[in-house]
C-alpha cells in the first residue's frame, strides 16, 4: 500500500513501468498467436536529482495457452532519453542503454540500433500502410 492506502503495482505482480499506447495488433488466422506494435512512454526521475522522458517502440509476441493470452516476447527499442532540463532541441545523440552486470539481458540482443536524434526506424511486423513495404532489418 502507498501512503494513500492504494494498492501498489508490486502487490498485483506487475513489473513493466512503461505506458504502452497506440497498439497495432495482428492476430494470426488460427487465433492462437498475435503480434503487437505499440509506443512506450516513461516519465522518469528521482526527487531533486534528475528527471527525463523516455520513449520507445515495442514489438511483442503473444500466444494463447489453454484459452489464456500470454506474453511470449516483450521487445522494446528505446528511441530516446531526454532530460527535462535539456529538452528536445538540444538533445545530443547517445548510445542506447547498455548491458551491465546489474542489468543483464534475458538473451543476447537481436537488433542493434541507434537512438534519437540519429536516423532510426525500429522494425515492424506488418506491411507499411502507406508504402505497402516491410521495414528491412537490419536497415540496408
Radius of gyration for the alpha carbons in the chain, expressed in angstroms and rounded: 18
CATH of the domain at 73: 3.10.450
Which grid cell is 38? 505499440
Q: For residue 96, what pLDDT is reported?
A: 64
pLDDT at residue 34 in the model: 96
Q: Which residues contact 116 (CB under 8 A, 6 or more apart)?
A: 55, 79, 80, 82, 91, 93
pLDDT in tens, 9-58: 455 544 465 678 899 899 999 999 999 999 888 888 888 888 888 888 88
Buried b (16+ CB within 10 A) or exposed e, 38-49: bbbebeeeeeee
Strand partners, 101: none
Q: Say if residue 4's pLDDT is above 90.
A: no
CA distances from 117 to 39, 79, 81, 90 (A): 17, 9, 10, 10
Residue 84 pLDDT more than 90?
A: no
CA dist., res. 128 & res. 27, Å (int): 17
68 assigned to some structural domain = yes
| Residues 90-99: b if buried by 16+ CB within 10 A, e if exposed | ebeeeebeee
The string of pLDDT tens digits covering residues 91-138 is 777 766 667 788 777 777 666 666 666 655 666 778 877 888 876 655
Q: How many domains does the chain have?
A: 1
Q: Is residue 21 part of a domain?
A: yes
| Contact yes or no for 106/72 (Cβ under 8 A) | no
Tell whether 27 is covered by a domain: yes
Decide: helix, strand or coil at residue 115.
Answer: coil
Residue 4 in domain: no
Look up the domain containing 25 and give its range: 15-91+103-140
Question: Does any domain span residue 61?
Answer: yes
- Between these two residues, 53 and 4, which has the higher pLDDT value? 53
* CA 108 to chain centroid: 17
Confidence of residue 85 (pLDDT cuts 50, 70, 90): confident
For residue 72, tell me if it sits in a domain. Answer: yes
In a domain, 83, yes or no: yes
Amino acid at each position: 500500500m502507498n501512503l494513500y492506502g492504494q494498492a501498489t503495482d508490486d502487490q498485483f505482480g506487475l513489473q513493466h513501468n512503461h505506458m504502452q499506447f497506440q497498439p497495432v495488433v495482428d492476430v494470426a488466422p488460427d487465433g492462437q498467436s498475435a503480434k503487437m506494435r505499440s509506443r512506450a512512454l516513461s516519465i522518469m526521475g528521482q526527487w531533486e536529482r534528475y528527471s527525463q522522458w523516455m520513449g520507445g517502440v515495442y514489438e511483442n509476441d503473444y500466444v494463447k495457452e489453454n484459452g489464456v493470452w500470454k506474453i511470449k516476447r516483450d521487445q522494446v527499442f528505446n528511441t530516446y532519453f531526454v532530460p527535462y532540463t535539456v529538452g528536445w532541441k538540444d538533445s545530443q545523440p547517445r548510445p542506447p542503454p547498455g548491458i551491465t552486470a546489474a542489468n543483464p539481458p534475458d538473451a543476447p540482443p537481436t537488433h542493434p540500433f541507434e537512438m534519437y536524434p540519429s536516423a532510426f526506424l525500429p522494425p515492424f511486423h506488418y506491411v507499411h500502410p502507406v508504402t505497402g513495404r516491410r521495414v528491412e532489418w537490419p536497415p540496408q
